[in-house]
Structure 1
């Protein structure tokens, strides 16, 4: 028999150690490696990126020379603290970043850009620096600058971690020198953006970008009676059932750094009366939840509007369009799984 719970009744309390303990690749990338990556023969930059990352893993695993070793023949220090994988959606950047994490020894962390900014919000900037400075590698997936505050914050964080000897690795759809374009007056923050760019050697990964693929076809919309039938057919495990508008309100009361724990033990979710989100702050918060659901491969059953209409046309064409396209793609994939679970 299934167990019905409600995300709106969960308010997870998370310690610092628990927060940091959650910074590892999702189950989708839990066992990937450089050998399991399959580069496109038509895209030599993909093979070149693997080579660069293997070399970077060696740099992470071998301490920089110091003292007499540095003066007399020790390994030449790396010129940059980090490596930055730039390329479109679906070319395997996260696979390669997770492979680097698995290939590296010592203390290390793996999270999305949003998770790191949320970590600072939960711990404070200084405590985050203190916690991460003891790591040998910090991996940042989906690096993106959403506002001036994030720009200054991440500029300082990357600089302090690099000064502490931490190796950095990041993925993004945007070159580091162009971060922030279309989101805010990035020209006013060129110094901070340049500080970020200076930390990384860029490895370009070519391939088809999501903008040329369009959005995947969403499952047909269903009404609440059909959703009830699907919920009743869910056979085992924990199903989190909520009204969509109630869930959106609840997310405002749970720090995004805790969304991973909010979903602990959940095998599927069911949302009643999904509707288009019209407020940007609510939409961006919901994108974080979508990412955590996708990380955990949680099927979604939902009534109301389809996920390709979840965000307004203005949002889908604005400065955060990459976030929203990614969220719609991921939610649609999970909705298809939800249809299969209930069939």
Structure 2
């Protein structure tokens, strides 16, 4: 027999052609702790796009709840906002072409509403509907960009954009809020259009326009430039945290990592220590070419700085939809009760929800 066909056995490829006894196994797991990513400023900006789960959304794919008129109204307002930007891009015909007029309407829109009403879907739809250059990122990603580039360079880099979308605007960090407010003021002066969302804290739900009022107060001088768009709806995420799947043993985690292509295997405490030596703007690059994360010895996080770094890593893993297989304690026990009641409660609740979701993805696989 000539030209025998390779047979696929699990993750081992057996070829009976010229090397009848040779086998090729999946590449061994990488270690995130051993990575020291260096990210160019151009990449940081280029990666400011909607996460993969919102890569193909549009206003048309958003299905408003017929019992909540504000949802359909929000689609209309944002579509008009996008149309204003597109109109400014329309080419002028004839011999005497004039520069395109500046976009009309407000400098920015703010989507005001609780968890789970589709604000990120709509924000990403707006981003997809307008011409570039444009950028999309969370509030944390934007502050990390400023930290990596420096304030002046960040202003210079983003000033040439037509639209900047900021998801999950944080109202619980006065220092960062003032920094971003100043940045946005400079960008508005340069003609950049803005769009933002922010989540109301669970205990504040139902208190009318709490989030919008807070947002307008925090951005101070910019408030007059924003149009607030209320999105009502059922807060399906405000039903308590989902139960985390039971952890695996260390041996099970290691064995599964050896069998999975694109696996990263790390000791959880060692990874937390490593994060302190990597700028948060590089956490995405830390996960380059990783398709699944395996963690041994998940344990409670003891201090605030480490916890906030874990939040950023959880966001980057969630953006990339990386399943997590872990040993130790369940992810819903990583943050203490005291942390979950403190000023960063919203961040920690989001991180737990996302880590648990990724752990469930692994369990289903």
Distance 2:317 2:44 in 1: 17
**Secondary structure of 1:208 counterpart:** coil
Change (3 A) 1:56 1:207: same
Q: How does 1:10-21 map to 2 (within 5 A)?
A: 10-21=35-46
Following TM superposition, by how much is the alpha carbon of 1:176 offset from its aligned partner in structure 2, in angstroms?
4.3
**In the alignment, which of 307, 314, 317 is matched to residue 341 of structure 2?**
317
**In the alignment, which of 62, 84, 96 is matched to residue 59 of structure 1?**
84
Distance 1:196 1:229 in 2: 54
Q: Match for residue 69 of structure 1?
A: none
Higher Cα radius of gyration:
2
Q: Match for residue 141 of structure 1?
A: 167
**Secondary structure of 2:318 counterpart:** helix
Contact 1:28 1:295 in 2 (8 A): yes
Contact 1:89 1:209 in 2 (8 A): yes
Q: How does 1:252-291 map to 2 (within 5 A)?
A: 252-291=276-315
Matched, 1:45 2:70: yes
Deviations 1:37-82 (A, max 9, x none): 11112211111111111011012223399xxxxxxxx89931x310
Q: Match for residue 244 of structure 1?
A: 268
TM-score (norm 2): 0.83
Q: Match for residue 3 of structure 2?
A: none
Q: How does 1:143-292 map to 2 (within 5 A)?
A: 143-174=169-200, 175-179=211-215, 193-209=219-235, 212-232=238-258, 234-235=259-260, 237-292=261-316
Matched, 1:132 2:158: yes
Following TM superposition, by how much is the alpha carbon of 1:147 offset from its aligned partner in structure 2, in angstroms?
2.6
Gapped runs of 5+ residues in structure 2?
Answer: 1-25, 91-100, 201-210
**Secondary structure of 1:3 counterpart:** coil
Deviations 1:142-187 (A, max 9, x none): 111343321221111111111111000011114243159xxxxxxx
Following TM superposition, by how much is the alpha carbon of 1:196 offset from its aligned partner in structure 2, in angstroms?
4.1
Q: CA RMSD in A?
A: 2.0
Distance 1:333 1:41 in 2: 29
Following TM superposition, by how much is the alpha carbon of 1:197 offset from its aligned partner in structure 2, in angstroms?
3.0
Matched, 1:28 2:53: yes
Deviations 1:234-289 (A, max 9, x none): 34x21110000110011111111111111111000101100111211111111011
Distance 2:212 2:158 in 1: 22
Contact 2:88 2:102 in 1 (8 A): no
Following TM superposition, by how much is the alpha carbon of 1:226 offset from its aligned partner in structure 2, in angstroms?
3.1
Change (3 A) 1:152 1:91: same
**Secondary structure of 2:348 counterpart:** helix
* Higher fraction of helix: 1
Contact 1:294 1:334 in 2 (8 A): yes
Deviations 1:79-100 (A, max 9, x none): x310011111211111111110
Following TM superposition, by how much is the alpha carbon of 1:317 offset from its aligned partner in structure 2, in angstroms?
1.4
| Comparing 128-137 and 193-202, the one that deviates more | 193-202
| Comparing 2-11 and 281-290, the one that deviates more | 2-11
Matched, 1:6 2:31: yes
Distance 2:224 2:269 in 1: 43
Following TM superposition, by how much is the alpha carbon of 1:211 offset from its aligned partner in structure 2, in angstroms?
6.2
Matched, 1:331 2:355: yes
Distance 1:292 1:259 in 2: 7
Contact 1:64 1:75 in 2 (8 A): no
TM-score (norm 1): 0.88
